[in-house]
Structure formats: structure tokens, C-alpha cells
Structure 1
Amino acid sequence: MSLDARAPLPPFHDDLAAAWAELWRLLADGVARGRSAFHTPSLATLGEDGRPRVRTVVLRAADPEAALLRIHCDRRSDKAREVLARAPCALHAYDPESKVQIRIEGRASLHAEDDVAEAAWAASQPMSRVCYAITPAPGTALARGGAYAQPDPEAALVLGRPNFCALRLRAERLDFLYLDRRGHRRAGWTRGAGGWSGTWLAP
């Protein structure tokens, strides 16, 4: 008998409310633990040409009550410009350890000079602040690989702040897929005028 067959099925296997709770537990673990697969999900935005663009980001906050997720970005970057032009975006992550895939669709907003941005900047690590003080701007063509300037953390405290912004994704659709040889489970939720509605989906 395989180990999978002997192990008890998780509570969320046939409980929609438990699946919702597990989705947000995994996202919270991603915020808190750098080694979690949910710490570095992929963010998809729409480019100027209407085509999807995707990149790895760091999940900084996940609020289940408001269904809000927060990442940080450079306001000079493509993703910042893309979010300002077209708010719809999506987030995806898969963790082979927990055998769970999470997909989130919603609308993003940028926060650069408000309380959200100030609190996020104040909580940022010194090395993270250095990223926002690098010149030239992200995506700029270079004559060679190392042709950019990276200041020390103390200088970055001043130089990086004008380029820093917090990106908040307000979830509108959530998809949770658990893979198990005894039977996959997939659940989906949609936000409507009356709140969230969820259902089981074919995997």
C-alpha cells in the first residue's frame, strides 16, 4: 500500500469552507516564510499591446477578510505602468510539497504616496530598499550585464523611496486545486454584490 493511501485525507478534501481556510492559510504562510512556494507567486498583467506578461514577485501581505494581497514594485517598472493602464491581473503559485495550486484573478491598484505605501516602505528590509534605488530604471537596455549602479542601504533609504510603490490586488475570483491520487479536489469562488460564492469544480 502506498504512503498516500495510508495517509488521512486533509479536512478540506470534501469541505468547501475548509478549502477556503486552507487557501488563505497557505497564502499567509507564503507571506511569513521565505521558503514557502507561495512566497514567490507569478503575477500576470496586460502589456501595452494587450498581451499577457508574467513575472515572479514576492507576496508581502494577504488579508482574507478583505481578500486583498500586497506586493511591492518599482513605479518605474513595466508592471507598474501596466497596472495603471489596465487594472485586471492574475496571480498564480503551485507548491509541490502541499500539492496545491492557487490562482487569483482581480484588479490591482498602485499606492505610492499614501498610508499604504508609507507603512509598506517602513516595514521593508534595508536590502529590499536597495532594489528601488538602482539606476537606470528596471528594463532599461544596458551595454553590458553589470552596467548599473547599486547604492548602499543607507543611501537607498533616501534614493529608493520615490521609486517605491505597493501594489494591492483585490481578488474577484479564487481557484484552489489540491492534487491527490485518490481524487483531486478543485474549488472556485467568485465575489459578487452579496459577497463570495463558492463551488466545487471538475479538476
Structure 2
Amino acid sequence: MTELPPFYDDLAGCLAEAWRRLEEGAAHQSGFHTPALATLGRGGAPRLRTVVLRGVDRAARALRIHCDARSAKAAEIAAEPRAALHAYDAGAKIQVRIEGTARLHGGDEVARAAWAASRPMSRLCYGTAPAPGTPLPEGGAFVLPEDEAALEAGFSAFRVVILTAARLEFLYLARQGHRRALFTWDEEGQGAAWLAP
């Protein structure tokens, strides 16, 4: 029989484990490194894509990802800031779903700090022409920045997305019985409850 983790029947422990896994994901140390981000498209339909989790601030309930100002993702967040994030680690059998409000940062201190901490390889994306999602006549019909000046010019298209959690669901899959917990934050404070899996 598999030993159950300490958070199994502990609500506070489930929340701590969710944030720990997210922090590890931002540090490239867990399956939570590349979660899926959902936004609302211009026509109201959901849009989903894989993103790279770049930072987590547990105290602020904030998750940081990066995007291109020219992308549909940035336009969707600017038009409708409600967003959701889904992360699953198959090895740990843990799923975390977060719903909240996303905020774009461009050209400010938040963006400058994130840009400075980014690797040159990551910065390449923001100087690529044409813009993300532009139809191409063939797969390789785009241009990457060729020198340091062109690479740095990509900062104008660089955006930081900060998703602040208003709702977090934690699911642990176990043969002995799954555990699912819900955590919410609003003007009245924090709520926590078990849910049927």
C-alpha cells in the first residue's frame, strides 16, 4: 500500500502543496513548468495555450508568464482580464486550476526586471517578424533578430502577464481515494473547502 502524503487530509497542507509545486514549476523543477493558460477570445470563445511559468509570488497569489504585445493572447487579456491556468504533474498525480485576473505590464519596472532576468534565447521571440499568428507562405518565412540591437529592440513587444488568483482548485489522485480542495479569496477574506472529486 502506498504511503499517503502529509497533505492528504489537510486543507492548509493542500494549499501549501499547490503553491510549492507552482514555485518548483517556475524554477524548472516540476511538471508545472509549462501550464495551460485560458483566456476569452474576442468572440467570447475560450482560447487555450501552453505557456512557461516564469515566477510565483505565493504571498500575493500571483503567477508570472511572458507574452508578445502583438499576440492574440495580449489582446484578449487587455480586452477581458479574466483568465485561468491549468497545471498537471503526472508523476505527482496533482492538478491545480487557478482562476483570476490577469494584468499586462509593458515598458514598466515589472517588465524591465523580467526582461533583464530573461535569457537571450527567450528574448529572440519578441524581435521576430512578422508578429505571432501572422499567416506565412511557408513555415520558415519569418526573420529572427540578427544582432544585439535588434534583440534589445524586442523589448517594445515584451509583456509580462501577472495572474492573481481568486480561486484555486487542488486535486490529488490516489488509489485510496482522491482529494479535491477549493480555495477562494475575495473582499471578505479566504475560503477553503473540500469538494467531491
TM category (shorter chain) comes to over 0.9
Q: Is 2:154 the partner of 1:192? A: no
1:122-161 maps to which residues of 2 (within 5 A)? 122-152=116-146, 154-161=148-155
2:109 equivalent in structure 1: 115
Equivalent AA in structure 2 for residue 176 of structure 1: F
Question: What CA distance in whole angstroms lies between the structure 2 residues aligned with 1:62 and 1:29?
Answer: 9
1:1-203 maps to which residues of 2 (within 5 A)? 5=1, 7-33=2-28, 36-152=30-146, 154-203=148-197
What RMSD, in angstroms, separates the aligned Cα atoms of the two structures?
Answer: 1.1
State whether residues 127 and 153 of structure 1, in contact with CA within 8 Å, keep that contact through their aligned partners in structure 2: no
Superposed CA offset, 1:134-160 (max 9, x none)? 000000010111000012462443221
Change (3 A) 1:95 1:153: farther
Q: Which 5+ residue runs of structure 1 have no aligned equivalent?
A: none
State whether residues 41 and 58 of structure 1, in contact with CA within 8 Å, keep that contact through their aligned partners in structure 2: yes
Equivalent residues, number? 197
State whether residues 66 and 158 of structure 2, in contact with CA within 8 Å, keep that contact through their aligned partners in structure 1: yes
State whether residues 65 and 160 of structure 2, in contact with CA within 8 Å, keep that contact through their aligned partners in structure 1: yes
Equivalent AA in structure 1 for residue 24 of structure 2: D
Secondary structure in structure 2 of the residue aligned to 1:11: coil
Superposed CA offset, 1:94-125 (max 9, x none)? 11100000000001010002111111011000
Question: What CA distance in whole angstroms lies between the structure 1 residues aligned with 2:55 and 2:146?
Answer: 26
TM-score scaled by structure 2? 0.97
State whether residues 132 and 156 of structure 1, in contact with CA within 8 Å, keep that contact through their aligned partners in structure 2: no
Question: What CA distance in whole angstroms lies between the structure 1 residues aligned with 2:147 and 2:4?
Answer: 47
Secondary structure in structure 2 of the residue aligned to 1:129: helix
Question: Cα offset for 1:187?
Answer: 0.4
TM-score scaled by structure 1? 0.94
Change (3 A) 1:38 1:153: farther
How many percent identity over aligned positions? 58
Question: What CA distance in whole angstroms lies between the structure 2 residues aligned with 1:18 and 1:38?
Answer: 18
Superposed CA offset, 1:28-81 (max 9, x none)? 000001x62200000000001000000000001111111000000000000000
**Ranges of 4+ aligned residues in structure 1 off by more than 3 Å:** none
Question: What CA distance in whole angstroms lies between the structure 2 residues aligned with 1:179 and 1:153?
Answer: 48
Change (3 A) 1:127 1:161: same
Equivalent AA in structure 1 for residue 137 of structure 2: A
